[in-house]
Amino acid sequence: MPQSDTTTSIRIANPPRHVAIIMDGNNRWAKKRFLPGIAGHRAGVEAVRRVIEACGDNGVEVLTLFAFSSENWQRPEDEVRGLMGLFLQMLKKETRRLHKNQIRLRVLGDVSGFSEEIQQHIREAEALTAENSKVTLAIAANYGGQGDITQAAQQLATKVKAGELEPEQITPQLLQEHLYTADLPLPDLCIRTGGDYRISNFMLWQFAYAELYFTPALWPDFGAPQLREALLDFSGRQRRYGKSSEQIEG
C-alpha cells in the first residue's frame, strides 16, 4: 500500500490500546536478495525496533509480536537453531535499550520449551523492565492459540479437581484470566504482514472482536509509515461488538 506524504501529519483518533502483529515474510525477503533465511530474521529485528518506537509515538500501550509459534519447532533444524540464537542475542543486547526507553518486556507462551539460558535471560529481562510504563512489548514465543486455551482449561480443571471451583462457576471471563495474556488488555488490532490472509493459531480467544488488517509488505520492510497506515485504517472502522450501527451511533 503506498504511503502518502501527508499521512504522518494526520492525528490518529482513538488509536488501539493493544496491537498484535504476525510478523511474516522474513524468509521471502531474504530469498529475494539471494541471502540465507537468517539474514531475513536479522532484518526483521530492525523492523521490530522501528515499530516499537512508532507505537510509543502513536499512543499504542501494548505491542504483541508473534515471534515463534509452537508449530515452528517443525522448521528445518538449522533455521530453528538460528532463531534460538537470535532470540538469545536479542535478550542479551536489547533488554538494556528497552529499559532505557521505558519499555516493559513480557514473554507469552510455554517458555519451558527453551534452553535454561534463554529462560534465565527471559526472567531477568522481565524483572528489569517490570515497572516501565511507556509501552508493553509482549513477545509471543513457543506460543499457540489452541495451546493457550488448553493450558487455561487445564488450570481450571485442576481447581475443580481440588474442590476449589465448581464447573458451573467457569465463565468466559474466568477462562480469560488464565490465559497467557491475563494481565494485558485484549488486542484491538491484529496486523499480518507478508500478504497471507490467516491468523495462524495466534491469539484465537483474544481476537474474538479484534480488527484484522493484512498488508503485502514483508516484515523487514515494515516500519513507522506502514504502522501508521494500519492505525489510520483502524481509526476509521466502527467496532460494534454484536450491536447494530444504530445502537453504536445512538
Catalytic residue IDs = 24, 72
Radius of gyration over alpha carbons of the chain, in Å?
19
User: For residues 59 and 17, what is the distance between their CA atoms, to the nearest angstrom?
Assistant: 7
Q: Which residues contact 237 (CB under 8 A, 6 or more apart)?
A: 211
3-state class (DSSP) for residue 153: helix
β-pairing verdict for 211-214 and 62-69? unpaired
User: For residues 66 and 23, what is the distance between their CA atoms, to the nearest angstrom?
Assistant: 6
How many C-beta neighbours within 10 Å does residue 27 have? 21
| Plot region of 194 (φ>0 → left; ψ -120 to 50 → alpha; else → beta) | left
Q: How far is CA 78 from CA 20, 72, 160, in A?
A: 27, 12, 43
Angle at 166 between CA 164 and CA 172, to 5 degrees: 105
Look at the block and give the residue holding cell 493459531.
Answer: 201
